[in-house]
Amino acid sequence: MSKENKKHIPRKVVFILAFLSIFIICIPIYYGTTYFANKVTPFASEIETLEASGNKVEKMNYSKFDALDLEFESTKFDVSKDYKASFKIYVKGEHVEGNIKDGKITYQVALAANWINFYSKSSENTITYKSNSTASSVTTVYDLKPLVTRTNYLIPFPKPTTYILISFDSVDNGKISHHSYLLKLKYGSYKIIEGGLTA
């Protein structure tokens, strides 16, 4: 076969294919590196303290939690002025595992978004609860500004996951048992009365 009959791939095509190959390889690496570099572990120090004292923290989705008749909502989710979110927790009815010691339930709420290393939590609050009644408490998470001032627009919009760390002691036949749970809620799975993210 003469040289004139040989088919050659144009140099421009080779360059484009090489560029696309590098692009296809680099994008997953970039996203994986970004995600893991900005991954958040909510209530890490609080859980470590609880478990160091022998109190196991059960982790689950909010929808699976049945140790208390618990309702959760956001009374305000402000990302345009004060950059804070207020949450209200209601405890209703009978406790399914026994009587709550001293009627005390402690909890904290946190918001977390892995892609931008966003993490903001409330202080610890206490609900004073009595059987066959309804008790509620409001807690506030501050500093939501990073949610709407992100600079890396190649990553997904970071709608934050909500976490509730809740603890109480129960009394059954004179025996005291400690209960701690880390509950997880997707953004939008709970009622938001005022404000919220639109993007």
Query: From the centroid of its chain, how far is CA 127?
Result: 22
Q: Give the mean pLDDT per block of 10 residues along the chain (199 residues).
A: 57 63 64 71 96 94 93 95 95 70 92 90 91 88 88 74 95 88 96 89
Each residue of 156-185: pLDDT tens digit? 667 899 999 999 998 888 888 999 999 999
Q: CA dist 164 to 18, 22, 35, 68, 80, Å?
A: 48, 42, 23, 13, 24
Residue 26: Cβ within 10 Å count: 10
- Cα angle at 119 between 117 and 125, to 5 degrees? 170
Residue written as token pair 């305000």? 76
**pLDDT tens digit string along 87-105?**
999 998 766 556 888 889 9
